[in-house]
Structure 1
Amino acid sequence: MHEDELPGPTDWGTTVGTGPWEGPWPDDPRYDPQLLAEGDRRNVVDRYRYWTVEAIVADLDRRRHPFHVAIENFGHDLNIGTVVRTANAFLAAEVHVVGRRRWNRRGAMVTDRYQHLRHHEDVGGLLAFAAEGGLAVVAVDNGPGAVPIETAALPERCVLLFGQEGPGLTAEARAGAAITVSIAQFGSTRSINAGVAAGIAMHGWVRQHADLGANR
């Protein structure tokens, strides 16, 4: 089995991916001989079927968006895998994990192989990285003084920064942000899942800045 393969049928009874390549093999270094021979069961879009991981990453790197995503991990947050998977879907430049280096990769569904990841020991390290790269830090937190993300103009080159489930962002992270945006909520809960919040914020950036004609 290829290391990225997702074995077995899906919940609706169809097989994931494609079988072995039929006919003469393509003369293209992007293709993986093992996948051509055995089939490609990975969770990738059709344009990347049978490609090596390295070839896929190289092609994604040509098109990555100039926004980054960061999440504080001081309490070993379980949402990071979801954030990574969503960042891959929206083609973020990098995902930054602040605090603990280790995180549960199960939720990433192998997308961490295709998404650039960077670790920072603390918030200060992330803020220094952002300053050096000319990236505005946008804190996403439903605290006092936050601007509704639904009406905010998000910087094109930015780091979308998220806190942990429950406590939210640390005081240092809020203080270091150029702007803090909130997500409109209408129910009884104080906060929404950090992975969900990250997806909403990334999609907000996409709506403002992405070339929708380049989708897929």
Structure 2
Amino acid sequence: MPHGAPEVGVGPWEGPWPEGEQYDARLLAEGDRRNVVDRYRYWTVEAIVADLDLRRHDFHVAIENWQHDFNIGTVVRTANAFLAAEVHIVGNRRWNRRGAMVTDRYQHVRHHATVEDLAAYLHERDVVLHGIDNLPGSQPLEAATVPRRVCFLFGQEGPGLSDGAREACDGTFSIAQFGSTRSINASAAAAIAMHAWVRAYADLGGGGAWRG
């Protein structure tokens, strides 16, 4: 930037402080430089999560984490943007949070040791498990009817869905590609799948969508 980096957020609250349990006294006094929409300026993390929980969508997203996939943080950030019900990490519990840009604080993230554990958890809640991978026999996502209660599962960058994941899925779906590469980035694929759900079910006219 020619004049330095742009200042993020807002400074200390000017004038009498607002009343309400949602407000964080430290943020009111020092300013709120977090990456949150204006609706949540000066709110505590707990208050933000509670408000989001009133409006969360019915889709989930899951990603396998056998090799400490660096895409997981970006998937979490996108899931927060589209207001996913939950994000599920299958395999290794530890994952690189840098790409999440702190959005994991506002998103419910669950860990499952195996894909079978994930499938059991979802089926108990009447959520179907759809794998997203360009596999032989996968149905085109673009032509599919996305279920309202669904979890999109993604494999590791490179190898894609594991054999166990393919067996546990209720169906697998592919994303149309037209270039020379065999696959697209896992976090990009996750964004496409989540947006397919948004196009089908999200309330785009009620004022709940934030567009800047």
Secondary structure of 1:83 counterpart = helix
Question: Could you say which residue in structure 1 is the equivalent of 2:24?
Answer: 32
Identity over aligned pairs, percent: 68
> CA RMSD, aligned part only?
1.3
Query: Which of 81, 84, 88 is the equivalent residue of 2:76?
Result: 84
1:154 equivalenced with 2:146 (yes/no): yes
Q: Deviations over 1:97-155 (max 9, x none)?
A: 00000000000000000000000001111011011111010110100111111111011
Deviation at 1:14, TM superposition (A): 2.1
After TM superposition, list the pairs within 5 Å mapping 1:38-117 onto structure 2.
38-117=30-109
CA distance in 2, matches of 1:199, 1:141: 13
Deviation at 1:13, TM superposition (A): 3.5
Deviation at 1:12, TM superposition (A): 7.2
Equivalent residue letter for 1:181: F
Relative to the length of structure 2, the TM-score reads 0.95
Deviation at 1:215, TM superposition (A): 0.9
The unaligned stretches of length 5 or more in structure 1 are 1-8
Deviation at 1:62, TM superposition (A): 0.1
Is 167-176 or 80-89 further displaced after alignment? 167-176
CA distance in 2, matches of 1:179, 1:65: 21
**Residues 184 and 62 from structure 1, CA distance in 2 versus in 1: closer, same or farther, beyond 3 angstroms?**
same
